[in-house]
Amino acid sequence: MKKELLMASALVSTLGAASVAEAVTATMSGSLKIGQEFDSPDTGTDTNNNKSLANFTVSLSETTDAGTTVSSSFMLENESGGVDDDNAIKLTFSDGSAVELLNAGNASGTHDISVPGAAGEMGVAGTTSANAPTGLDFATPSGALGIEWHSAADFMADGLKVSASFSTNDGVAATATAKLDQAWGVGATYVTSAGDTALTIGTGLAGSEYKMTGTAATNDTNGFHVGLSAVTGDLTVAVGFADGDSLSDDVAAGTGGDNNLQVDGSVVKAGIKYVTGDITLNLGAVSGEAKDSDTTGTAGLTDDSWDEVNASLTYAFASGVSAIVGYTNVDIQDEGATTTDGGSSWYVGAVMSF
């Protein structure tokens, strides 16, 4: 309870000191993506599905007389079937530093490198209990009551920017399943150049504690990531690596039971993006592996893996309107054995954005 009261007091006092102006400036943006996906699983019947995805975002911002910008946003999206209100209140100060309050996220995930991958809505229809990670931020949990601080640019060195975060939940232990109690993260991004190439290095470290009334987790979630992006003219090349422990719900994974699976995983991502005129070419690769437990408190012994290659071509044929052709191929292993849950998928569609 003490942690929650301290966090709430910080929120109230910070907003009170900001002296928010009466008027708020709102800006809107959104997109509509329509296309057809053609799925060829390793086993079973080939299928094709219409994909119609839309989102509408409203960004709110105003600057106080003291020079502090108060901002937030919300999104309506049919991808999730509702409203995405998982957004923080952000205070940006006159020196360029910023603080996010409530739903602030994890500072480690803030600084993961963006690795190029295929555009489009390709997906493999097979279901699997394999838990190999595919994203660099897989071990960066956060609670709803949180705070994240961001430094101004050129923090202590030219090109360096850092962040730190802490979040907590209600502190009540969950029954049967593990529940996030508190989480922290630190991250940094460093931007420099080598000749005509702009280099960006991103790294982060995260940790958390969980509570449960049943068998205790042998490890709380924790992990790190590091990545490098190099941009030379119209060519972007990036690579990233992440390693850590996470929890995955075995009910959602299809293995039955009501405990959380502990996952000791790592992932490597690499990608290339090349822009020539109105055409953007993307090529990406993902290689993740993990050992997941049968029940919480039991270490996994055999490997799961996820190996994916993907590519896409995007053609901008009008202002805000692009055509997309994408392809992905996925191979999956579960508990050390090759599965038939992978496959390949094509996507042909268009996106309109404003």
Percent over 70 (pLDDT), the chain: 77
Query: Can you tell me the distance from the alpha carbon of 352 to that of 55, in angstroms, rounded to the nearest whole number?
Result: 11
The tokens for 328 are 């992905």
Output 244 or 79, whichever has higher pLDDT: 244
Output 204 or 130, whichever has higher pLDDT: 204
Least confident residue range of 165-174, 194-203, 283-292 = 165-174
pLDDT of 6:
47
Q: What is the mean pLDDT of the chain?
A: 81
Query: Can you tell me the distance from the alpha carbon of 39 to that of 9, in angstroms, rounded to the nearest whole number?
Result: 51
pLDDT of 166:
92
Least confident residue range of 22-31, 269-278, 310-319 = 22-31
pLDDT of 133:
86
pLDDT of 169:
73
In 3D, which of 31, 48, 30 has the Cα closest to residue 39?
Answer: 48
Least confident residue range of 64-68, 84-88, 262-266 = 84-88
Query: Can you tell me the distance from the alpha carbon of 287 to that of 333, in angstroms, rounded to the nearest whole number?
Result: 11
Least confident residue range of 203-207, 210-214, 245-249, 343-347 = 210-214
**CATH architecture of the region 2-27+35-353:** Beta Barrel (2.40)
Sequence-distant (≥ 6) Cβ neighbours of residue 212 within 8 angstroms: 173, 174, 175, 176, 177, 178, 179, 296
Query: Can you tell me the distance from the alpha carbon of 293 to that of 302, in angstroms, rounded to the nearest whole number?
Result: 9
Q: Average pLDDT of 54-81?
A: 84
CB 60 within 8 A of CB 26: yes
pLDDT tier at 80 (50, 70, 90 boundaries)? low
pLDDT of 187:
96
Q: Average pLDDT of 178-200?
A: 89
List, in sequence order, every residue forming a beta bridge with 62; answer none if it has no partner. 70
pLDDT at 299 over 80: no
pLDDT at 8 over 80: no
| Phi, psi values for residue 291, rounded to 5° | -110, 120
Burial of 37 (0-12, 13-18, 19+ CB in 10 A): buried
HEC profile for the chain?
A: CHHHHHHHHHHHHHHHHHCCCCCCEEEEEEEEEEEEEEEEECCCCCEEEEEEEEEEEEEEEEECCCCCEEEEEEEEECCCCEEECCCCEEEECCCCCEEEECCCCCHHHHCCCCCCCCCCCCCCCCCCCCCCCCCCCCCCCCCCEEEEEECCCCCCCCCEEEEEEEEECCCCCECCCCEEEEEEEEEEEEEEEECCEEEEEEEEEEEEEEEECCCCCCCCCEEEEEEEEEEECCEEEEEEEEEEEEEEEHHHHCCCCCCEEEEEEEEEEEEEEEEECCEEEEEEEEEEEEEECCCCCCCCCCEEEEEEEEEEEEEEEECCEEEEEEEEEEEEEECCEECCCCEEEEEEEEEEEC
pLDDT at 328 over 90: yes
pLDDT tier at 81 (50, 70, 90 boundaries)? low
Query: Can you tell me the distance from the alpha carbon of 40 to that of 93, in angstroms, rounded to the nearest whole number?
Result: 51
pLDDT tier at 125 (50, 70, 90 boundaries)? low
Output 276 or 51, whichever has higher pLDDT: 276
218 Cα distance to chain centroid: 25
pLDDT of 126:
55
pLDDT of 264:
84
pLDDT of 61:
92
Query: Can you tell me the distance from the alpha carbon of 182 to that of 19, in angstroms, rounded to the nearest whole number?
Result: 30
Q: Average pLDDT of 229-248?
A: 92
Strands 69-77 and 47-63: antiparallel
pLDDT tier at 199 (50, 70, 90 boundaries)? very high
Q: How many other C-beta atoms can be found within 10 angstroms of the C-beta atom of residue 63?
A: 15
pLDDT of 55:
86
pLDDT of 97:
94
pLDDT of 19:
47
pLDDT of 65:
87
Burial of 58 (0-12, 13-18, 19+ CB in 10 A): middle
Query: For the chain, what are the domain ranges?
Result: 2-27+35-353
pLDDT of 36:
92
Query: Can you tell me the distance from the alpha carbon of 26 to that of 18, in angstroms, rounded to the nearest whole number?
Result: 19
